[in-house]
Amino acid sequence: MKKTSISKPPNLEGIVTEPDDMLAEYDFDYRKARPNRYAAQIESGSVLVVLEPDIAQIFKTSEAVNQVLRALITTMPSVPQHS
């Protein structure tokens, strides 16, 4: 009998290999879609930022975050504007 060698899989250290459960195509029923009820609360020109949990424990509201950022801005050196 001839021995067959089993090839060693490539080194995938640090790579999570899970079965791909994504379909090649999805058929969404947009008739059931609803508008985002929170979108109207976002002011024009605002930027949404996600805080990490440890930071969110300290800053409970957007007003608290803005207050600290405004205080930080006053300590920063001004940057000359190019015209």
pLDDT score recorded for residue 3:
65
pTM exceeds 0.75 for this model: no
CB atoms < 10 A from the CB of 59, how many?
Answer: 15
- What does the pLDDT profile of the chain (83 residues) look like in tens digits? 566 666 666 666 666 666 678 888 888 888 988 888 877 888 888 888 899 999 999 999 989 999 999 999 999 998 777 66
Helices (H) and strands (E) in the chain, counts: 2, 0
Query: For residues 42, 81, 69 and 48, what is the CA-based torsion angle, rounded to 10 degrees?
Result: 30
